[in-house]
Amino acid sequence: MNNRSVRHFTFYSLGLRFAKLNWARVWVGCALLVFGFTGQAFAQSGATCQTATPISGEGAGWSFTGNGSTPLPSQGCGQTSSNLDSYFRWTAEESGDYEFLVYTGEAYSRYEIYQGSGCPGTFVACGGFSLSVTQHASIIPNVQAGDSFLVRGGFSYGFLQVTRSGNGCEGVGSDPFSGNQECATPAPIGNGTFLDLSVNRGDSDYYQVCVAAGDDLSVTLGSKILDNTYRLRLHDASVTPCDSNLSGSLIGESFSESIHYHNATSGPVDVRIAVQPVWWFWGCNRYDMTIAGANGCDGLPGVSTFCDPMDVNSTGIPTVLTATGGTGIHSGVRLEATQGSPNQFAMMLIGTGATNPGLAIGQGRLCLDTQSGNRFGRYNIHGTAMNSSGRFDANGVLQNLAGTSITGSGFDVPKWIPAINQVLRSGETWHFQLWHREPNGTSNFSNGVTVSFQTLPQ
């Protein structure tokens, strides 16, 4: 409790009288059936301080049941203490400032928060409710990991939500796909794992991929705060793409965090992915998203390798370079490197020609042709999209150090070409190779990859 100044926030309802209609109880029952939450979510409170239900970390949907009858002394929160009380014992998993948000439709009641493992412990905060006030928040600063708090609800029903103060909301709109909150402006995207995306209550995130005939698309989310708080919808972007409810274009829907689609047509299908929050009281959330199967539309009809395999690196195996298409970022092509020497620096190269076996340099071979008028360039232009600087992690996967990969690994190939002073164009063929250091100070290379660009993203 040192150096703490608890802040309180009161929210006024817009004429909805939960105390009269008991819609909150109905809503929770429906949510339990529809969403199938597991784990701590929807944990129910204990009847006494001694039997308080243990919860921890960030979460929502923790339900006060009013199953006790041992009210605590009044703490001057402006409301009387109901005899229908119930308890949670919350433990912080991480240090920080935390917001305790309490909802109830029961007027003239209150909640209290106490710190410590005692019954009740040291009083910290409280909040009161009325006909117009149905939710109240207390922000407790300087909470340390492992700190314990007793939360008492003095009403027959209600909900508790605990989040780190401001957690997630500041990031809304700041992820790499900013501007994709409208159906009409989906973010083009492709295969890969996209980290730390964010969405706000009342908004949706829209993405668009292309699925080739006969292919299978899968979309999987990984929530950062509360699991299963999204509705995932897939739409055929060519059919009434932005009508009021998108029902005419709906081709898939899921209330879990994964969805699959099989393109059984004879041609490619542009699929719009909608990530929609379904918790009306959860302010914002953050998530990772993995997409697989978005190949074959603006992808890579001509992909081949050269100097494959390359000479072995310090691990005893060759470094491997691969190319995937349909990313929707810059040129639509992402280069990934694996089996590299751990903790070694690397960068991508591009050239107008390829040769095999190439020119011996260090422990490997440069296989981008430098003869007969061919040229090559290095993606090392700092402060631009033409910076591929990276380092192999302990597993030999190239991690991007320049912020030029939407997934964090590899490199999203831009349209501008370094040193050669021109841009990539549809119908052109280019050659790529990775250069990297070895622990003994020498150089090595990956195999080469030849890419024929069919259609570049707009």
Contact 159, 226 (CB under 8 A): no
Nearest-10 Cα torsion for 209, 200, 286, 227: -90
The answer to the question of residue 249 being in a domain is yes
| Dihedral pair phi/psi, residue 270, rounded to 5° | -80, 120
The answer to the question of residue 457 being in a domain is no
**pLDDT for the residue numbered 104:** 79
The answer to the question of residue 458 being in a domain is no
Instruction: Please list the pLDDT of the chain residue by residue as tens digits (458 residues).
Output: 444 555 544 443 333 333 323 333 333 334 333 333 334 445 777 888 888 999 998 877 788 877 666 655 555 565 555 567 888 999 999 888 888 888 877 777 788 899 998 888 888 888 877 665 667 778 888 899 999 999 988 877 788 888 876 544 544 445 667 667 777 778 777 777 888 787 765 567 888 888 888 889 999 988 765 555 677 888 887 775 554 444 557 777 777 788 999 988 887 788 888 887 665 444 567 788 888 887 655 445 567 899 999 999 999 999 999 987 766 567 878 899 999 999 999 999 999 999 999 999 999 999 999 888 899 999 999 989 999 999 999 999 999 999 898 888 999 999 889 887 788 887 888 999 999 999 998 999 999 999 887 666 65
Q: Does residue 124 share a domain with residue 26?
A: yes
Domain with 279 in it? 169-292
Question: How do beta strands 429-437 and 345-351 pair?
Answer: antiparallel
The answer to the question of residue 269 being in a domain is yes
Q: Does residue 258 share a domain with residue 245?
A: yes
The answer to the question of residue 200 being in a domain is yes
Q: Does residue 343 share a domain with residue 281?
A: no
Q: Does residue 316 share a domain with residue 230?
A: no
242-246, long-range: CB within 8 Å, 24+ apart, which pairs?
A: 242/182, 242/183, 242/184, 246/183, 246/274
Chain centroid to Cα 326, Å, comes to: 20
Token duo for residue 292? 């697989």
Total domains present in the chain: 3
Q: Does residue 329 share a domain with residue 278?
A: no
* Domain final residue pick, 112, 139, 164: 164
Q: Does residue 198 share a domain with residue 69?
A: no
Q: Does residue 115 share a domain with residue 71?
A: yes
| pTM (global) more than 0.85 | no
* Domain final residue pick, 238, 258, 292: 292
The answer to the question of residue 113 being in a domain is yes
Q: Does residue 142 share a domain with residue 283?
A: no
* Domain final residue pick, 271, 292, 313: 292
Q: Does residue 130 share a domain with residue 93?
A: yes
Q: Does residue 157 share a domain with residue 254?
A: no
Q: Does residue 175 share a domain with residue 132?
A: no
- Cα separation, 167 vs 435, whole angstroms: 40
**pLDDT for the residue numbered 296:** 53
Closest CA to 181 of 196, 208, 203: 203
Closest CA to 238 of 213, 269, 276, 260: 269
Interacting residues of 220 by C-beta distance below 8 A, sequence separation 6+: 257, 258, 289, 290
**pLDDT for the residue numbered 27:** 38
Closest CA to 101 of 185, 19, 53, 164: 164
The residues with which 154 forms a beta bridge, in sequence order, are 110
Write down the residue that tokens 């014992």 correspond to: 89
Question: What CATH number should be reported for the domain holding residue 284?
Answer: 2.60.120.380
**pLDDT for the residue numbered 176:** 67
**pLDDT for the residue numbered 394:** 94
Q: Does residue 346 share a domain with residue 374?
A: yes
The answer to the question of residue 197 being in a domain is yes
The answer to the question of residue 1 being in a domain is no
